[in-house]
Structure 1
Amino acid sequence: MSESGPSDVQSAREAASRYVGLRDPALVGALLLTLSYVSVLYHVTDVVGGSRDFALAVGGAFLLATVLGRFLRLRTAVLVTAVLVAGGAAVYYFAVPESNRALFTTARVVDDTVALLTGLSVLRLAKAGVWALAMAPGPVFLSWYLALRGRYVGSVLVGGAALAFFVLTGDAGVLVTLVGVVGAAAAVGLGTLGEVGAVSAQWDTLAVVVAAMVLLSATLTVVPGGAAQPLLADRGAPTMQGNLVGSAASTDSVTVQGSIRLSPEVQFTMESEEGHYWGVAAYDRYTGSTSGGTWVRTGEAEPYDGRLGGPPGDAREVEQTVTARSRMNALPSAWRPVAVDDSVSSATEVTGQGYLRPTGTVRTNQSISVVSEVPEYTQRELREADGDDYPARVSEAYLQLPESTSERVRQRTAEVTADEETAYDKAVAIERYLESNKQYSLTVDKPDGDVADAFLFEMESGYCVYYASTMVVMLRTQGIPARFVTGYTSGQQVENGEYVVRGLDSHAWVQVYFPDVGWVNFDPTPSGPRESSENARVEEARQNGNPNVDVDGSEQTTTATTVAPDSPETNTTTTATTTTEADGNATNGTDSNAPRGPSDEIVGQEPGVGGNVTTADEGIGGSLPSIPWPPTREQVGIGLALLVGLVAGGRRFGAFTGTYRTLWLYRHGARTEPRADIERAYTRLEHLLSREYRDRRPGETPRSYLQSLGNVGLDDRAVEVGRLYERAHYGATVDRADADRAVRTVNELVWERTPLVGRLLRN
């Protein structure tokens, strides 16, 4: 459509005249704001693939806004933005699998939008990379167009809305939020002040506002489940259970932590003929170096609607009854769960990864029966199941790696698996490598970069989350589908068919996919050191008289159960009873011929091979945790912003001048020639009198000033200093004795009026 009318030509000329170009300093703020939310979307594409296409799309939106900003009217620019957003939505719609398009009802879209605005990460969306690529150009184009036209408030509204969206989803971390807040304040502040040429005069006011916004954004959590964290976090380390099991129910994600604690309280008892690892959740998407090394569970849970399908190969049915000993938001079971009690079926849902979970809370002492079909196989069958014929849904979800995954991780994995030919043997080699080359410890410093890379090359020790995360990443570099799984180990066996499971039994392990078999459990975490830490924690809790540490039958010994019921060699459950001696050391009574690992593990090796336990500072004692050092980038950024704000605020409100004048009042300083010392002493005296009585009026002589104050009780010593000042100021002879007397008198008058400060300064 052509725009050729006289009014249109005039509008175009006015638009061109308002085009600020690329030299306006406020554009830097608008650019920072834009880059803040664009960085979140770039991170999404880095995790799931497509960052190059995303960079081209965003760069194209910037270029389009820059070229058209001089000529395009606002109404037309809004229309272009609407076309970009609508086109992006259409691209995303047709990119998702056809089976999922039926879910795009109005009610479902509204529900998903509400979920996003209350803490659902964008990374949980199907085809998250396509969504990021499709949604970015619209807001980028409009916000940059408005900034180039000098409409900074409008630009900040558009960019701020985009950033706020990602704050609500939990994808924008503290540092990203801080950058966006500073950019928004700078764009509006510099743009507005620039119009009246007041930037140099008002920079301190702008700095104070920015610092206040930074502090507010860093200390307030906007919504439950959001990513924003208080500036001063809880000093206590999180518990393993809270990190692995609590996160599964509240956020559908697990973030790798630093040091962690073990909770000795009984969570539930399990009645089962076989001991297993009791799974709670599986995670498919790994974020890598950004987002703190987070595992995300994608897809939506669906209501349980009758018995589920079992694994693709042979399986045996195992029935379990879980009895909650405290309120629970999880439903642990052996892999793979296929059925649940009819009494709770309507309050149960199935995750996209095949685990059951309650829609509400399992009450204390409530019992729920779950039926699982546990896969049966042999090592030979697993070796023969090797190949590239993985289902498309498995390859797409469980081979994902961030594009930023380091090449040295791939190279080290290739070295570890160089002598192995099958996926099964490669998995065993990686498992044994991690178990033998890393120590087990609950006290670690969380790395800044990729957890797998750091654990392989920079860290000497870690706990289950580090072992499992690293093994999954290593397997995926070799084209082997694997996933991160959380839940509980089998716990303490108190009698045949009953297991006591405590919070410290919460655990993370690995599942590897084999065609015609399904998911098979592997556990690279050394079992011996892990069990020793858990047993020591239970004994400590017992000695301290902590509540809810035991149930009937669990008080005598701490039993660590090593389960391998599906081993192709033994097909039996092996129980290792660890009795705590009087000196507090644990002796391992595990059958050395039994394979170690979770219920489906097939690794025929001795339990606890390799991996020494680090006993110092493992978080099982009562000492206070240390303050983390060095500070994180977010903490440094917040600190610098606050420092600038304090300096600017001090300048704006005269705090520095007032502080200097106060110190100057109490200290005369080094002596010079007598005349100058007397004049300086009188200036200090006059400042003191102005604070106590009034200022000297214009045209009022020092003598008249002192005489007027004498009518309201001025000390005669002040009048004497005034006389000495007149002599020195008007040319009369004064000597060192006169100067010392004036300085001493003023000091006495100052210190008498503030005795505490006077004593401190005098000393």
Structure 2
Amino acid sequence: MSVLDRESDVGVLDRESDVGVLDRESDVGVLRLLALGGAALVIGSFVGVVHDVVDVIADPSTLQLVVAATLVGATVAARYLTVRNAVVVAGALLTGGLAWYLAGLTGATLSPWPHIEYTIALLAGNSILGIVNLESWVIAVTPAPIFLAWYLAVRRHHVASAIVGGGTLLFFVLTGDAGTDLTLVGVVGVVTLVGAGELGRLGAAVSEADVVATVVAVAIVASATVTIVPAGAAFSFSPDGGLAEPAPISADSAGGDGTLEGSLLSAGEDLSIQGSLELTSKVRYLVESDEESYWRVGAYDLYTGDGWVRRGETGPLDRRLGSPAGRSRTVEQTYRAMSPIGTMPAVWRPSDVAGPVAENARVTRLGGLQPSTPLDANDTYRVTSEVPIATGTELRNAGREYPESITNQYLQLPDSTPERVAERTERLTANADNPYDTARIIEQWLESNREYSLNVSKPSGSVADSFLFEMDRGYCTYYATTMATMLRTQDIPSRFVVGYTSGQRVAEDEWVVRGHNSHAWVEVYFPEVGWIRFDPTPASPRDSTAQQDLQSARQANETDVDTNRSRGGEWTPTPTETETATGGGDQPSFDERDMSIPDYYGPDSAFTRDDFATGGNVTVSTPENSTTTASENGSQERPGEDSDGVIPGIEQLTLAALVVFGFASVVRRSGLAERTYRAVWLRWQPREDPATDVDRAFERLEYVLERRHRERRPGETVNDYLSTVEADERARRVAEIREQMRYAGVVDRAAADETIELVDELVGGD
């Protein structure tokens, strides 16, 4: 070989080497971009959490500017700062931010320690919504992890970046503020950041990134099936700033105090919303009634921020009793007090009261009955009530022409009520164009988005604001107070009402009412109809708690928790032949709730149901042959859904695309795609021209023989190969037709079809 030839070969090798280097550099660049994209997903996931939180209470534009500035600063710092110095900067950002936040606290919140304690308590499941000056806190604490995570990603410290970003997201997962979608986005980001970053560091080819895509897909599926839901803190954040497990309040021993059950033992003019509450299982009343209902004790109109006050004097029955302005039906009830008690329940709206107790009974300005002296055990009285009836259509069309006396009394709110209560209510009810739909939206949202519990800490500020933004659980007074407040921010007259739920049914027309049936709900005013009841408290967990209390009381042999008829359990009607044939009657019961009512607060929702409202309870009659859906736990469609199903957001679409891409990579790497294509190619041959059909049929024949025997060797003739593998006559006939076509140049449609049919037979025997 001449020198020129060697130099030429060396030049070719050099060029090939240069191309390989360029290819590797290009692959590394692509993988680096993928890693940075993963870092952006991680940061975006926890920024998305705090952005959603801030958006509830304030304009998030300030947070957006802070995030953008922090990312720019981290990018610049990656060129000039060492890792040690960058960590110092991040620490300074966090320390300075917290100092700025604490400096902005005033009054009772000036002491920093309670806020530090609460921040620690967040790890036990307390939501960041409970933080004072939440927007300032978010702006104070988020720049540090954003800066450090992005700096490390730009400097190619991918694992460290994933630890910082993923750890921050995990913090919000533990507080319960990170939703499933954002958590999945963060998981994808961590896997992409570490996987693509490390592949790039090792100089791998871009084609190897399908491994990352596979892991991403598996991570998404795994994360979607494993939910990290904090059980909540075992302690509460008390109003004075300390961490403690508050002692329960016993309404039974409190007598006429301002608690929920206390207000039902004596006719107090005010009700103070408490923290943790313990209701008794003692029997308060026996009720005989035409139908099941809520036994209303009284209403309150003046909201103080942490409780309710009833304004106005009580007066004689003949001056205050009456009938609803609209249609009504009559319900007869008889009440027997089972212990000394200072209240007189009645189904709304009472129109007549009879019996010895009624001789000196009085009625409040808000329609509640009161005895002049406390009832003794076994005292009885009878009430005739005119229950308002209105269809959903009638209530939607009732309008807003409220009497001045109603607006003056039932739209009041403390000046200290935060504006964010009205803002959130407006967002939730944006699709409602009438007071009825607004009330239903609020009722369903509270029922679906807060947990029922008697173990809560009383907030130090506005109860409604705290329950809406800072608490994730509460009992009926919290639900009812919040709903009434939200309605009033929308100029819809409402009031807070207390009484008892129906209790244990022990006969067709008899109920045993205990202390744990104490309840609070909301009444909303509709022109030409009157006051209609709405109950935002979830019924199932409330009833379950009451049943557990009763079982505990029975096991402890407590007195006065049962009557002669109540130990036998809940009474249920015996189906008759007529009821069996008709499905139990044509009309829904008075308190029946259709849990398939679609949410009204999602985008593009429509109000198409003809809801049937009766006596304040709203029952939906489902049109014949229609279908309704609800999940197994009774949950409703979430915001953003319509009657046809879920409308996916950008997070869901992105995650779905990543799953598809990841499993496509699995298919490609495993060879499944090639095997699938080959199986289809082998078993299905479309007709084209005769020559093409013969060639393809012969290729299929060779593939079958290779799988059954061996490949045809180079230089080996077709006839020799067929003889060696002992192919049958069908294979030889296909080879004969192909040979005639190749050397004689003659083939017709019949011969081509014959080859296809013969090969199909051979494939079928594979």
TM-score range, shorter chain: 0.5 to 0.7
* 1:125 equivalenced with 2:138 (yes/no): no
* 1:452 equivalenced with 2:372 (yes/no): no
1:685-700 paired onto structure 2 within 5 Å: 685-697=701-713, 700=716
Tell me: CA distance 1:740–1:506, structure 2 relative to 1, closer, same or farther (3 Å). Answer: farther
Q: Secondary structure at 1:317's aligned position in 2?
A: coil
Equivalent of residue 379 in structure 1, options 272, 287, 312: 312
Letter paired with 1:646: F
CA distance in 2, matches of 1:703, 1:251: 87
* 1:160 equivalenced with 2:177 (yes/no): no
Tell me: CA distance 1:336–1:33, structure 2 relative to 1, closer, same or farther (3 Å). Answer: farther
**Residue pair 2:217, 2:659 contacting (<8 A) in 1 also:** yes
CA distance in 2, matches of 1:721, 1:210: 49
Tell me: CA distance 1:153–1:733, structure 2 relative to 1, closer, same or farther (3 Å). Answer: same
- 2:140 alignment counterpart: 134
Tell me: CA distance 1:477–1:308, structure 2 relative to 1, closer, same or farther (3 Å). Answer: farther
* 1:719 equivalenced with 2:738 (yes/no): no
Equivalent of residue 753 in structure 2, options 716, 740, 755: 740
Letter paired with 1:37: F
1:5-24 paired onto structure 2 within 5 Å: 24=33
* 1:317 equivalenced with 2:317 (yes/no): no
Deviations 1:80-122 (A, max 9, x none): 111112223334445556656779389x84x963x53453322
CA distance in 2, matches of 1:524, 1:171: 35
Q: Secondary structure at 1:221's aligned position in 2?
A: coil
Equivalent of residue 653 in structure 1, options 651, 666, 670: 670
Q: Secondary structure at 2:430's aligned position in 1?
A: helix
1:93-492 paired onto structure 2 within 5 Å: 93-95=102-104, 104=113, 109=117, 113=120, 115-193=121-199, 200-225=206-231, 302-304=244-246, 317=256, 333=261, 354-357=274-277, 377-379=310-312, 424-426=409-411, 450-455=427-432, 464-466=443-445, 471-476=484-489, 489=501, 491=503
- 2:50 alignment counterpart: 41
**Residue pair 1:493, 1:500 contacting (<8 A) in 2 also:** no
Tell me: CA distance 1:557–1:651, structure 2 relative to 1, closer, same or farther (3 Å). Answer: closer
- 1:435 alignment counterpart: none
CA distance in 2, matches of 1:691, 1:485: 82
Shift of 1:59: 3.0
Deviations 1:452-482 (A, max 9, x none): 33455695856843486665334346799x9
Deviations 1:341-366 (A, max 9, x none): xxxxxxxxxxx9623257xxx9xx98
Deviations 1:507-560 (A, max 9, x none): 76599xxxxxxxxxx996458xx99xx99xxxxxxxxxxxx9x935986799xx
* 1:707 equivalenced with 2:731 (yes/no): no
Q: Secondary structure at 1:34's aligned position in 2?
A: helix
**Residue pair 1:123, 1:298 contacting (<8 A) in 2 also:** no
CA distance in 2, matches of 1:735, 1:664: 23
Q: Secondary structure at 1:69's aligned position in 2?
A: helix
CA distance in 1, matches of 2:68, 2:171: 21
Tell me: CA distance 1:587–1:721, structure 2 relative to 1, closer, same or farther (3 Å). Answer: closer
Root-mean-square deviation (CA), in Å? 5.9
CA distance in 2, matches of 1:21, 1:336: 70
Tell me: CA distance 1:485–1:175, structure 2 relative to 1, closer, same or farther (3 Å). Answer: farther
| 5+ residue gaps, structure 2 | 1-27, 267-271, 285-305, 315-363, 366-398, 414-423, 447-479, 525-529, 544-561, 574-582, 592-612, 638-642
**Which has the higher mean CA deviation after the structures are superposed, 30-39 or 615-624?**
615-624
Equivalent of residue 659 in structure 2, options 619, 625, 642: 642
CA distance in 2, matches of 1:471, 1:736: 84
Equivalent of residue 645 in structure 2, options 630, 633, 644: 630
- 1:71 alignment counterpart: 80
CA distance in 1, matches of 2:717, 2:242: 84
Letter paired with 1:648: S
1:676-687 paired onto structure 2 within 5 Å: 676-687=692-703
**Residue pair 1:167, 1:177 contacting (<8 A) in 2 also:** yes
Larger radius of gyration: 2
CA distance in 2, matches of 1:166, 1:688: 59
* 1:89 equivalenced with 2:102 (yes/no): no
CA distance in 2, matches of 1:105, 1:301: 8
Equivalent of residue 66 in structure 2, options 53, 57, 62: 57
Shift of 1:79: 0.5
**Residue pair 2:504, 2:511 contacting (<8 A) in 1 also:** no
Tell me: CA distance 1:502–1:727, structure 2 relative to 1, closer, same or farther (3 Å). Answer: farther
Q: Secondary structure at 2:619's aligned position in 1?
A: coil
Tell me: CA distance 1:582–1:702, structure 2 relative to 1, closer, same or farther (3 Å). Answer: closer
Shift of 1:155: 2.2
Shift of 1:183: 3.2
CA distance in 1, matches of 2:114, 2:707: 73
CA distance in 2, matches of 1:508, 1:173: 30
| 5+ residue gaps, structure 1 | 1-18, 227-248, 253-282, 285-296, 310-314, 321-331, 339-351, 384-413, 429-446, 512-521, 536-547, 559-580, 590-606, 754-763
CA distance in 1, matches of 2:510, 2:258: 14
Deviations 1:189-220 (A, max 9, x none): 44455567866534543332222222122221
> Identity rate of aligned residues, in percent?
29
Tell me: CA distance 1:655–1:300, structure 2 relative to 1, closer, same or farther (3 Å). Answer: farther
CA distance in 1, matches of 2:677, 2:73: 54
Letter paired with 1:645: G
CA distance in 2, matches of 1:213, 1:74: 30
**Residue pair 2:428, 2:441 contacting (<8 A) in 1 also:** no
Letter paired with 1:746: V
Tell me: CA distance 1:53–1:621, structure 2 relative to 1, closer, same or farther (3 Å). Answer: closer
Tell me: CA distance 1:161–1:735, structure 2 relative to 1, closer, same or farther (3 Å). Answer: same
Shift of 1:416: 7.7
CA distance in 1, matches of 2:687, 2:645: 42
CA distance in 2, matches of 1:486, 1:36: 43
Shift of 1:179: 2.6
- 1:551 alignment counterpart: 566
Shift of 1:665: 0.9
Q: Secondary structure at 2:513's aligned position in 1?
A: strand
CA distance in 2, matches of 1:677, 1:694: 24
**Which has the higher mean CA deviation after the structures are superposed, 87-96 or 72-81?**
87-96
* 1:28 equivalenced with 2:37 (yes/no): yes
Letter paired with 2:659: L
Q: Secondary structure at 2:725's aligned position in 1?
A: helix
CA distance in 2, matches of 1:149, 1:101: 40
Tell me: CA distance 1:23–1:709, structure 2 relative to 1, closer, same or farther (3 Å). Answer: closer
CA distance in 2, matches of 1:620, 1:499: 31
- 1:750 alignment counterpart: 763
Letter paired with 1:465: Q
Tell me: CA distance 1:96–1:417, structure 2 relative to 1, closer, same or farther (3 Å). Answer: farther
Shift of 1:140: 0.7
Deviations 1:419-459 (A, max 9, x none): 5797733159xxxxxxxxxxxxxxxxxx9994333455695
Tell me: CA distance 1:586–1:305, structure 2 relative to 1, closer, same or farther (3 Å). Answer: closer
